[in-house]
């Protein structure tokens, strides 16, 4: 069955809840504008690119590329690069939650597992590190992250909905206590210091500008990978399991396998984020995978909105800006109060996060948008 048929099958089904996001294709205008380049001899991919890219995409990309040249190294490193990394980790959650309907709190744990793998296998300031070459360590760390994420998925997809959040939280906190109490492998409370990115091609990837571009590359890669993935048959099937798992099951889809695969994909994203995060901080300790951070990832994803991959990065930027600059206005110790309050306000008043807020504003003030589906909806 192809993707178009699927979309139709999904759209004719009963809506499962008021917050069900429309498939991206369905929110586009009813009739695409006639393509002025249809008869030119340009290659197909160029035409497709021309159709999908709008001025705002170019604007955002230019802005992203210009940041390190305009802003101070502090902003480049502490604000921009950190936002990209946290955005990538939050993206792994927002992919699971937005498209799979699975809210997992263990994403930071998966990222932390990748980070710990880098610290344990690679070089660090602690004697127990094995000091292998980074070219071996990083793929291994990602592999371990994917395997662990798959295991978490295998454990938690046996139960659904509200249970998932509890089980993943339990797994995450259990991992925190494991690294806290274990000294032989994870070096206990101290963790690992001086875990730095390697120097490759004569570039020290630790200095702000190269590190920013490294993060930008992987963030964009993750963003476009998710954009592409949700339109593949697997992505459509995943959205089907979110909307009506029982129907997907009776149609012959293996719901469990689809969900576990989604966990594996999110594990890869979180793993990349985790490797970058440990390089960013230069250290990893139990505090990096504590409950606070498990929840912060959820806060970031919800803050931005889970209906579109961009929400994760939006949430990360707001989170980092609050973290960096809110302490000028209030006591540094009270940051949790601010972020908790903002999170509460978002959940209470705008369940779709900043993206939902933006959509609401556009509906009120902007030009009228055609928001009907391309296919018939009953």
Partner 1 sequence: MTRNERFATWLLVGGPIAVFSVWALADNTRLYLVTLLNSLTLASLYFIVASGFTLVFGLMRNVNLAHGSLYLLGGYVGYVVARETGWWIIALAAGFLAAAIAGLLIQVLILRRMQGQELRQTMVTIGLSIVIADLLLMVFTGQVHQMEAPSFLQGPIRDIPLIKAYSAYRLSLLGFGIAIGLFLWWLLNRTLVGSMIRAGVDDRAMLAAAGVNVNLVFAVTFALGAGLAGLGGVIGAVELSMVPGEDTRLLLASLIVVIVGGMGSVTGAAIGAAILGLAETYGLAYAPTYSVVFTFVILIVVLAFRPRGIMGRPA
Residues at the interface with partner 1 (CB under 8 A): 17, 19, 103, 155, 158-159, 161-163, 165-167, 169-171, 173-174, 177-178, 181-184, 291, 295, 298, 302, 333-334, 336-337, 339-341, 343-344, 347-348, 351
Q: What is the largest CA-CA distance in the chain?
A: 67
Q: What is the dihedral of CA 30, 31, 33, 35, to 10 degrees?
A: 130
Do 84 and 269 meet the contact criterion of CB atoms below 8 Å apart? Answer: no
Whole-angstrom Cα Rg for the chain: 21
Which is nearer to partner 1, 222 or 353 (by Cβ)? 353
Q: How far apart are CA 123 and CA 353, in angstroms?
A: 40
Query: In angstroms, what is the minimal distance from the CB of 160 to partner 1?
Result: 9
Residue 254 has, within 13 A of its CA and on its CB side, a CA count of: 6
Q: To the nearest whole angstrom, how small is the minimum distance from the Cβ of residue 216 to partner 1? A: 30
Query: How far apart (Å, rounded) are the C-alpha atoms in residues 29 and 33?
Result: 9
Supply the minimum distance, in Å, between the C-beta of residue 162 and partner 1: 5
Residue 58's SS3 state is: helix
Work out how close the CB of 242 gets to partner 1 at its nearest, in angstroms, rounded to a whole number. 12
Give the nearer residue to partner 1 in terms of CB position, either 97 or 144: 97
Cα(130)–Cα(274) distance, rounded to whole angstroms? Answer: 19
Q: How far is the CB of 175 from partner 1 (least distance, A)?
A: 9
Residue closer to partner 1, measured from CB, 122 or 353: 353
Q: Which is nearer to partner 1, 62 or 178 (CB)?
A: 178
Closer of 172 and 309 to partner 1 (Cβ): 172
The least CB distance from residue 105 to partner 1, in Å, is 9
Q: Which is nearer to partner 1, 95 or 211 (CB)?
A: 95
CB 187 within 8 A of CB 128: yes
In 3D, which of 225, 262, 239 has the Cα closest to residue 93? 262
The nearest distance, CB 301 to partner 1, in angstroms, is 10
DSSP string, 283-344: -B-GGGGSHHHHHHHHHHHHHH-SSSTHHHHHHHHHHHHHHHHHHHHS-GGGHHHHHHHHHH
Nearer to partner 1 (CB atom), residue 169 or residue 248: 169
Strand bridging mode 203-204 / 199-200: antiparallel
């Amino acid at each position: 069955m192809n993707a178009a048929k699927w979309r139709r099958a999904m759209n004719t089904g009963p809506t499962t809840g008021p917050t069900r996001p429309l498939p991206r294709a369905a929110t586009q205008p009813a009739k695409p504008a006639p393509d002025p380049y249809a008869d030119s001899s340009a290659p197909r991919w160029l035409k497709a690119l021309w159709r999908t890219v709008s001025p705002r995409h170019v604007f955002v990309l230019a802005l992203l590329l210009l940041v390190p040249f305009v802003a101070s190294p502090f902003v480049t490193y502490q604000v921009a690069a950190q936002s990209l990394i946290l955005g990538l980790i939050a993206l792994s959650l927002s992919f699971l939650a937005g498209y799979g309907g699975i809210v997992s709190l263990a994403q930071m744990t998966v990222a932390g597992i990748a980070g710990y793998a880098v610290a344990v296998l690679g070089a660090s300031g602690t004697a127990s590190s094995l000091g292998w070459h980074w070219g071996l360590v990083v793929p291994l760390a990602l592999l371990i992250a994917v395997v662990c994420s798959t295991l978490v998925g295998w454990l938690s997809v046996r139960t659904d909905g509200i249970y998932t959040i509890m089980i993943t939280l339990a797994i995450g906190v259990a991992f925190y206590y494991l690294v806290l109490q274990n000294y032989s492998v994870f070096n206990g409370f101290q963790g690992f210091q001086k875990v730095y990115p390697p120097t490759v091609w004569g570039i020290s990837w630790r200095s702000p500008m190269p590190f920013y571009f490294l993060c930008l590359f992987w963030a964009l890669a993750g963003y476009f990978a998710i954009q592409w993935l949700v339109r593949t048959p697997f992505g459509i099937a995943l959205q089907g399991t979110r909307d009506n798992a029982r129907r997907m099951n009776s149609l012959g889809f293996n719901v469990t396998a689809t969900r576990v695969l989604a966990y594996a994909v999110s594990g890869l994203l979180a793993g990349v984020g985790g490797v970058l995060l440990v390089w960013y901080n230069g250290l990893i300790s139990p505090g990096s995978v504590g409950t606070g951070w498990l929840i912060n990832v959820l806060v970031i994803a919800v803050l931005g909105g889970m209906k579109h991959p961009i929400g994760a990065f939006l949430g990360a930027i707001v989170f980092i800006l609050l973290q960096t600059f809110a302490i000028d206005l209030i006591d540094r110790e009270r940051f949790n109060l601010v972020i908790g309050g903002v999170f509460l306000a978002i959940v209470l008043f705008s369940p779709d996060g900043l993206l939902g807020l933006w959509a609401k504003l556009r509906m009120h003030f902007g030009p009228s948008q055609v928001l009907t589906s391309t296919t018939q909806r009953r």
